[in-house]
Structure 1
């Protein structure tokens, strides 16, 4: 299968070429030349086996095709359990059991496994450049840490990630550098996109991306939705609906792609924080990117969701059809706090601020009479947001062992302005 740009002018690329490049030469995002047809799918023995079967059509004919089962086995060596909530029919898909306690671990480890194979014989080092609003950077750093021939440069908005997130971003060292940018996530993302499209810079210091703009990040994220939905369907005979907290739209798009491939997924509803670009669009307004605002659910503080290009491509640019297919709902900080406190008080359930947005949206759907079986995508362990969650629930949170090990390491992040010349200088140093 070949891959093309969402903006069309770029020539088609193989999967390996698209993964290695990160971004298409014309600035667009890589998408399949055509979507594989929906298939009858069955859950594998484990997540890795399900992933290999689900993703096989995208790897068909590529040099990585024979490596796909091993890549999945290497990347998906931790669980993604579907856990019932207090309300009958409601579940949470826990995506935070990886090494950095966030769902980004799935895609980052898959991408690292692909690139390690693609660059076995490479001479020049490759820099993985990544913008993060909180969790992506740590997952990428952990996945690529000490990988030969690869270095990682992480950009994050200074003061706009949680203290534990910031510590994770700067605690790796070796081939990983963390830069705290005087600006927003959108500023970080714009710097990364500009660098990836800078032919002169690429010639002097080869770059690739590990944001959800990368196919190597996006495609594997379909796997945990498929595994959960297929197992649920096998046990109950019913499709599983999802509420997905989303910022850059990668995690939600992964669920949408999984359904298109034949996974028994029902409705997919988007939850956001006070950044209202998606709720405004799906409510009937124009798609109008804007400056992001800082919230408690900082990983969703995105004012220009990159993967909206892919979503529009999937629906052939038909805004009416796209709006008919999905709804998006915003949840502000006051409601996020209320949900975290109330669900712990009433049910003993503990959620991170991002997961709490989806829980609130599901509560509202139920109040409106929505039936069926639903799952909330739990994107991060609440212990990553102890400064928000602990005061609301009145007790300390147990820190997962892998996260505790990272927090025990010294951390360093260098400050830079939101200025392209400053980033160029760092990348060429």
Structure 2
């Protein structure tokens, strides 16, 4: 039997960790992101032709969990977490073009895949005598609701969500604050990058970790990133079996986790072709892939708010995958799409083709439209249901959108989010004080 796969930090720390430690910690001790020592290699023949998404995930992820305490549980984890469809739906107006719909989970966004997988792992890793764990999540809109839904009322776990006040859609904000119980939303008077910086500072504070054990469920968590590879593997394998050609993807991206999952599937040897990154007006990535030095910058607010990221965390993992700029720029293409183009794309496709897209998916559709007929099969990755962005989409298309039942149920609940200043100290103090009070109450 092969040795278990080990994981190290993108920042070069010598400490090697197993997958259990990686999932539990979220962030590496030196502040870097965990990566495998090497990406496993697989072949299309390794996968069952008639398998479900959960079956594909179990095969794909088995090498990452080899030799761990979770290895024998992996099929059950995948079945438990990935129990909804991710259909590859043809686009009638464009030959060889499809939409990979990732919004059929509980929170109507692709983040459900990783969040539910992570929660299923935590349920198996935690023991009854473990200290309560607090999962700190920075969200630009969709991650927080998916994590909240996945961990809601899970014993021994509390979720603290930081989101940029006024920079998520009204329905996203309602989702974030509607859970209660073991889920607390904090509306931060800043950008997503501020929220992400505050969360990382708390996770990297060793004395705080001693008092309040913390973990992460952002895409900085490898336990959330790995399962996101499953839908790219599943779609590309299905296409390969039918057409004997790789499937090319256009991925809307902000913090780069979803795009990196696609890249890693291709690097593992599965039939993924070209990968194009659709960015909004936050042009950090598109400028880099156009040849400029990598230069993180403050995020600006756009209609595609879940992608409002000026300093994408997963660029560290992308650089680990391709250490040299010239090599990395050969692997991917990236382009920015401004708000006017997002609006025009939503209006045009609703009017001409009866297709309604969320603002994030519209960035990818805009890139597809600009390509014309390439002769290559393209899949646009649809990251969220348009009804989550009714305040943007409905005025553009001139009608109400049907709301998925799970989202409708969330919107019926009351919602509350506590205000918080942009301050690493403020968050640490809040965690210490609020959760310290809860610990004292439990102890008494």
Task: Say which of 411, 417, 431 aligns to 1:427.
Answer: 431
Would the aligned equivalents of 1:122 and 1:149 in 2 still touch at CA under 8 Å?
no
Distance 2:7 2:135 in 1: 21
Structure 2 counterpart SS, 1:271: strand
| Residue of structure 1 equivalent to 2:381 | 377
Would the aligned equivalents of 1:10 and 1:24 in 2 still touch at CA under 8 Å?
no
Distance 2:249 2:130 in 1: 44
Structure 2 counterpart SS, 1:13: coil
CA deviation digits over 1:89-135, x for unaligned, max 9?
11000000000000000000000001111103342100000000000
Listed as ranges, the matches of 1:186-265 within 5 Å are 186-265=193-272
Distance 2:100 2:40 in 1: 26
Would the aligned equivalents of 1:10 and 1:26 in 2 still touch at CA under 8 Å?
no
Task: Say which of 9, 15, 18 aligns to 1:11.
Answer: 15
Task: Say which of 352, 359, 362 aligns to 2:365.
Answer: 359
CA deviation digits over 1:26-45, x for unaligned, max 9?
00000001111243343452
CA apart distance, 1:236: 1.7
Moved over 2 A (4+): 37-44, 120-123
Would the aligned equivalents of 1:44 and 1:50 in 2 still touch at CA under 8 Å?
no
CA apart distance, 1:364: 1.2
Q: 1:168 to 1:47 in 2, by over 3 A?
A: same
Would the aligned equivalents of 1:243 and 1:268 in 2 still touch at CA under 8 Å?
yes
Distance 1:10 1:287 in 2: 26
Distance 1:326 1:44 in 2: 31
- TM-score calculated relative to the size of structure 2: 0.95
Would the aligned equivalents of 1:138 and 1:168 in 2 still touch at CA under 8 Å?
yes
CA deviation digits over 1:209-244, x for unaligned, max 9?
000000111000000111111111112222110000
1:405 aligns with 2:405: no
Deviates more, 1:255-264 or 1:266-275: 255-264
Distance 1:297 1:255 in 2: 20
- TM-score calculated relative to the size of structure 1: 0.98
Task: Say which of 56, 60, 81 aligns to 2:62.
Answer: 56
| Residue of structure 2 equivalent to 1:155 | 162
Distance 1:311 1:122 in 2: 38
Distance 1:123 1:37 in 2: 36
1:130 aligns with 2:131: no
Distance 1:37 1:16 in 2: 21
CA apart distance, 1:63: 1.0
1:183 aligns with 2:190: yes
CA deviation digits over 1:20-70, x for unaligned, max 9?
000000000000011112433434521000100011110111111011000
| Residue of structure 2 equivalent to 1:21 | 25
Deviates more, 1:6-15 or 1:156-165: 6-15
CA RMSD, Structure 1 to Structure 2 (Å) = 0.9
Structure 1 counterpart SS, 2:57: helix
CA deviation digits over 1:141-184, x for unaligned, max 9?
00000000000000000000000000000000000000000000
Task: Say which of 111, 116, 120 aligns to 1:104.
Answer: 111
Unaligned ranges ≥5, structure 2: 435-444
1:47 aligns with 2:60: no
